[in-house]
């Protein structure tokens, strides 16, 4: 599913070593393939922690909203990140 440029996703991945990675994208399938090494790109953090799998994501109407939400997720303690992103405050999204 390719997202339009107006629709941004904030996503949370779980890496093979159990750590979490949060990011934003307009195309979740492409980004997940990059993180898992099927396509070039992806974060340096996930390269040594493959495979990764998607835990949850939330859509936002703009890149700035997605960046704010990503920052808020990263500020949460590990045990609260998934619940916050899935069910938490809307933060303009």
The pLDDT tens digits for 55-68 are 999 999 999 999 99
| CA 38 – CA 53 distance, rounded (Å) | 13
Structural domain boundaries of the chain?
Answer: 8-87
Which pTM does this prediction carry?
0.86
**Integer CA distances (angstroms), 4 to 19, 42, 45, 61, 67, in order:** 29, 20, 26, 10, 17
Q: In what order do the strands lie in the sheet with 20-25?
A: 20-25, 8-14, 53-60
CATH architecture of 8-87: 3-Layer(aba) Sandwich (3.40)
pLDDT band for position 49 (cuts 50, 70, 90): very high
The token pair at 63 is: 């890149």
């Amino acid at each position: 599913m390719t997202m339009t440029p107006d629709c941004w996703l904030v996503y949370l991945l779980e890496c093979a070593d159990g750590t979490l990675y949060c990011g934003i994208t307009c195309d979740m399938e492409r980004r997940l393939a990059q993180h898992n090494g099927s396509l070039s790109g992806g974060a340096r953090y996930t390269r040594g922690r493959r495979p990764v799998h998607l835990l949850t994501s939330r859509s936002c109407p703009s890149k700035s909203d997605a960046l704010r939400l990503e920052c808020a997720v990263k500020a949460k303690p590990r045990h609260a990140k998934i619940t916050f992103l899935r069910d938490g405050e809307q933060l303009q999204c």
